[in-house]
Amino acid sequence: MQRRQFLAVSLASATAAWASQGWAAAGAPKYLTAAAKPGNSTWLVGLTEDAKIAFEIQIPSRGHAAAAHPERAEAVAFARRPGRFAVVLDCVTGQEIVRLDSPEGRHFYGHGAFTADGKLLLTTENAYDIPDGRLGVWDATDGYKRIGELPSGGIGPHEMIRMDDGGFAVANGGMQTHPDYERAVLNIPTMQPNLTYLDAEGAIIDQVEPPADMRLNSIRHIAADASGRVVIALQWQGNPLQEVPLMASHRRGEALQFFDHPETRALKQYAGSIALSADGSQIAVTGPKGGHVIFFDGTTGAPLNGQALPEASGVARFGERFIVTVKGGVLEGGADGGHVVLVDGDYSWDNHLVAI
């Protein structure tokens, strides 16, 4: 889709917003996460601020991340790659509103974001036979009809987030995959990740790539503060014996900055999720493979400390600190300590916790 059309659709659909209840009616969920229960049933779970279950909705197979509509109490749960479904849920009634199927030759990567006005949903997708990264465009004012797609700016777009200015940041991880090969990475010798910025109309306005020695450090998960600084959780695809930083940050117009941490090693070359605290003083990075979380100074990027946390998966801001999904519950806290709150339901959390 052309940029002009994208904008036009965005305006045209302004009159078509459908009536729906707001988030306050949905048992006040503050966080969304995909999860599984023993026996491998798969769920989308809404958690309240005090880590109670606001709602739990079964989904067809394993989810990954979710996107919350900015106003309506609607959430879109995305299939884990190489899944082809996304489920739009009414978080008040627990009903499925509509199910999205990725078009022929595309599959979802598990993340997406709404435009600031809530009219369009963008989804990161793999055009695997080309191969190329795409952003699917779905009209949230018209039953989430697919209305086009945009280039993501690289191979393997994974997490995308909306920035405070209404634009978007897209983590093009660089990893080429194909459903015929399930989850195997096919292009490690040539992979080239980047961080791509789009304006509110979906046009690419800036890109940054890691230097040659960090080329194999996949840019996969991101968070941003109000000033537009993006922090990045990295996944090292090179020789596993090589020790590399797994956190980076970026501000447009500058080079990527990489930040090491004495406990990086405990993440097993894999940073899962990343979040900034609301006051900007701390950065939290989870390592689900290593069962560990590490904290950085939010301003300088200097390492603070870390903590072994079994199955540390999703992380989101929680007041001035963080909420981290862990085995059996959530951790509320940060570098200066915290406590685990148990959550009922015998859930195993999937990789991400999305703040609403």
Closest approach, Cβ 235 to another protein, in A, equals 7
Q: How far apart are CA 217 and CA 51, in angstroms?
A: 33
User: Taking CB under 8 A as the criterion, which residues in 191-230 touch another protein?
Assistant: none
Segment contacting another protein by CB under 8 A, of 7-15, 177-185, 195-203, 315-323: 177-185
351 near another protein, rule: CB under 8 A: yes
Closest approach, Cβ 308 to another protein, in A, equals 11
185 near another protein, rule: CB under 8 A: yes
186 near another protein, rule: CB under 8 A: yes
Closest approach, Cβ 268 to another protein, in A, equals 6
Of the candidates 11, 23, 19, 53, the one whose C-alpha atom is nearest the C-alpha of residue 35 is: 53
Q: How far apart are CA 217 and CA 198, in angstroms?
A: 22
Is the CB of 130 or the CB of 226 nearer to another protein? 130
Strand segments, DSSP code E, in 128-216 are 132-139, 145-151, 157-162, 168-172, 194-198, 204-208
Is the CB of 58 or the CB of 190 nearer to another protein? 190
- Using omega within 30 degrees of 0 as the cis cutoff, is the peptide bond preceding 82 cis? yes
Is the CB of 48 or the CB of 187 nearer to another protein? 187
Segment contacting another protein by CB under 8 A, of 133-141, 194-202, 254-262, 287-295: 287-295
Q: How far apart are CA 127 and CA 123, in angstroms?
A: 12
- Which residues, including other chains, have CB under 8 Å from residue 213's CB and lie 6 or more apart? none
Phi/psi at 95 (nearest 5 deg)?
-85, 150
Closest approach, Cβ 181 to another protein, in A, equals 6
Q: How far apart are CA 47 and CA 330, in angstroms?
A: 10
Interacting residue ranges for another protein, rule: CB under 8 A: 36, 40, 42, 62, 64, 80-81, 110, 129, 180-182, 184-190, 235, 237-241, 265, 268-270, 272, 288-291, 311, 313, 327, 348-351
